[in-house]
Amino acid sequence: MKIRLGLIVLVLAAMIAAPRSSAADSSAPRVALVIGNSKYPDADKPLSQAVGDAREFADELKRAGFDAELGEDLSGDAMRRAFDRLYQRTKPGAAALVFFSGFGIQSGRQSYLIPVDAQIWTEPDVRRDGIALESVLNELNSRGASVKIALVDASRRNPFERRFRSFSAGLAPVIAPSGSLVMYAAALSAVVTDNDSAHSPFVSALREEIRVPGLSAEEALNRTRTAVARASRGEQVPWISSSLAEDFIFVPGAATAEKPTAEKPTAATAPVEAAKPAPAPLEAKPPQTTEAKPASGDDDKLVLALASDPTVKSLTAQIVDKPSDGNAYYRRGQVYASKGAYRSAIKDFDEAIRLNGKDVEAYNNRCWVRTVIGELEPALADCDQALLLRPNFVDALDSRGLLHLKSGRDKAAIADFDAALKINPRLTSSLYGRGLARKRIGLASEGEIDLTTAKKLDPNISKEFAGYGVK
């Protein structure tokens, strides 16, 4: 499953018109840990920007009302103690933020933040000495944080990479709990080189955007990505993943005017709210409360309500300028789906597939959306096609598992969830779905183990599945 939606359609519509929640109005506690690591003994020289960026970013967060702790050139023990203090400061309902600038390494499809004293010669050393970003976000979630934000400037060519053959450059996608917003300074598996300036272009742009009054965190990060991509002429494009169920605003105040765009789409062609990653798909998919298909009128209202979003405007402008841009249709479809405008999402995925009959991501996401709204047979055809195009595609296995679960084909659901978990043992939706299916066929103890494990990874997973109409 690709897009996890955290709210039902009716609640979404109400939220659009309602006042901001506690996270948005800054009444909830705000805690942060900011780390700048520059002096790695294995590197040829200290990183020129990490510590200075961390200091200034910590100051920025304090001005925004965060209780921010700053750490510089931290050893493994010091980093673990700093994270423990962050966990202790994270109370239920809090917004918790982690900023890291230094070296990062991906291993086993996870991203690790590297302390300055790490002794890395083999891949197991990464997992021993590094701090797994997923583990940090999951721990913050277990402490009750309603908003988890991770900003990572660690997509650098590091000094350890030639020491083991299985090394992969850059950072890996993160499987984060609901209510998370993650941003990397560069695209997945990509690296950038520090320039001679005192501050990285990523952090400079980020600081500028988060101080804009009334601007949501998703919008601030999307503007940051656009600014960095523009400044680097497309050589550095930050990566974003979001499963926020509500807007979070760094600096409360009246929303500011949008930055001008080259081409303004008309109201008839503009669509949704999208502060989601353009280069990579969203990590999560969330719920609908019933099997009933959403009325087209509700869908139209959502599209109109979200029409002013700058990301949607940009995607719509791309489509107007180049109607054959299947990727723009696909990305806009993701946004529609993430906000509950399912019919419009399907239309965009239809176009993406018409333009590229081998667009496996579009087939998978159309399968998931159709599953959510109860169009199960067309959904099955989409999932089957996605798996024909890309065998063992974990997202399509997960989507088809949900489809079988909703159809009452419990053994088929277990087979698909088993296959997905063999590829990614931490895929919470497959764990929970398999637990439900196992209990249905009488494997009560095995099912309970799956459900308990999934809930530890994501305490909101049961609400998500209830939203799918599956219990």
DSSP 45: S
What's the CA gap between 345 and 300, in Å, rounded? 11
Q: Are the C-beta atoms of residues 244 and 193 closer than 8 Å to each other?
A: no
The reply to whether the predicted model has a pTM over 0.75 is no
Q: Where in the chain is the domain with CATH 3.40.50.1460?
A: 27-242
* Vertex 196 angle, CA 47 and 225, to 5°: 85
State the virtual CA torsion across 48, 51, 52, 53 in degrees, nearest 10.
Answer: 100
Is the pLDDT at 180 greater than 60? The verdict is yes
What's the CA gap between 431 and 444, in Å, rounded? 14
174 alpha carbon, distance to own chain's centre: 7
The residue among 7 and 303 whose pLDDT is bigger is 303
Q: What is the mean pLDDT of the chain?
A: 81
Q: Where are the alpha helices (DSSP H) in 233-341?
A: 296-305, 310-321, 326-338
| Domain spanning 27-242: CATH 3.40.50.1460 | yes
DSSP letter string, 195-217: -SSSS-HHHHHHHHHHTSTT-BH
In the block, which residue shows the tokens 């590094």?
Answer: 130
Mean pLDDT of 41-45: 81
The predicted pLDDT at position 248 comes to 92
Taking only the tens place, the pLDDT of each residue in 357-412 is 998 889 998 999 999 999 999 999 999 999 999 988 888 999 999 999 999 999 99
Is the pLDDT at 164 greater than 70? The verdict is no
Mean pLDDT of 413-418: 95
Q: Where in the chain is the domain with CATH 1.25.40.10?
A: 296-467
* 3-state SS, residue 270: coil
- Calculate helix-pair angle for 428-440, 410-423, nearest 10 degrees: 150
* 3-state SS, residue 155: coil
The predicted pLDDT at position 69 comes to 96
Taking only the tens place, the pLDDT of each residue in 224-242 is 999 988 888 888 889 999 8
The residue among 77 and 4 whose pLDDT is bigger is 77
In the block, which residue shows the tokens 């765009």?
Answer: 261
The predicted pLDDT at position 304 comes to 78
Q: Name the range with the highest mean pLDDT among 209-218, 227-236, 277-286.
A: 209-218
- The fold adopted by the segment(s) 296-467 is 1.25.40
Report the chain's terminal Cα–Cα distance, integer Å: 17
